[in-house]
Amino acid sequence: MTFQFSLQKVMELREREKKEGQTIYSKAVDDFENTATVLYQLLKSKESLEDAARNQIEKGIKIRDIQVQESQFLRLQDQINKQQIRTQMARKNMQRKQEELMERTIEFKKYQKMKDLKEQAYKENQAYLETNMMDEMSVLMYSKR
């Protein structure tokens, strides 16, 4: 007779929930990385725009060109501000999904530990029963002599 864990179905459910949580967390990490990459690109563009403006000012530039650069800079700064908010939201979402994954993992490990303990107790009980049966057989064999 083999070991049957009475809560096997519950443990399997917890394992599926854990795997689902891993998938959701991976997606949240990807979303965060994508939004952070966009933010990084915008910041690099801002830096390039500032460098170009600085160089043009040193060389001499028309007022109209300064106004165009300023409007580009303001538009870019607005995009950066919006992207920072998106990145913060993605980070919070990723952290929340990580916490959920940890909770699911802990729940699964509880059932796994419970199963391991019950299986160990079952094996010890089987060994005890087997030893008793062998002792009884020995006594019977000895008494038949």
73: Cβ contacts below 8 Å, ≥ 6 apart:
46, 49, 50, 53
Average predicted confidence (pLDDT) for the chain:
93
Q: Is 104 part of any domain? A: yes
CATH of the domain at 35: 1.10.287.1700
Q: Is 3 part of any domain? A: no
The reported pLDDT for the residue numbered 131 is 93
Q: Is 82 part of any domain? A: yes
Q: Give 93-106 as a DSSP string.
A: HHHHHHHHHHHHHH
Residue range(s) defining the domain that contains residue 16: 8-144
The reported pLDDT for the residue numbered 65 is 87
- Mean pLDDT value of segment 75-96: 98
Q: Is 40 part of any domain? A: yes
Tell me the helix, strand and coil percentages in the chain, rounded to 5: 90, 0, 10
Does the pLDDT value for residue 41 go beyond 90? Answer: yes
Stated pTM of the model: 0.76
Q: Is 28 in contact with 94 (CB distance < 8 Å)?
A: yes
Question: For the chain, how many structural domains are there in total?
Answer: 1
Q: Is 2 part of any domain? A: no
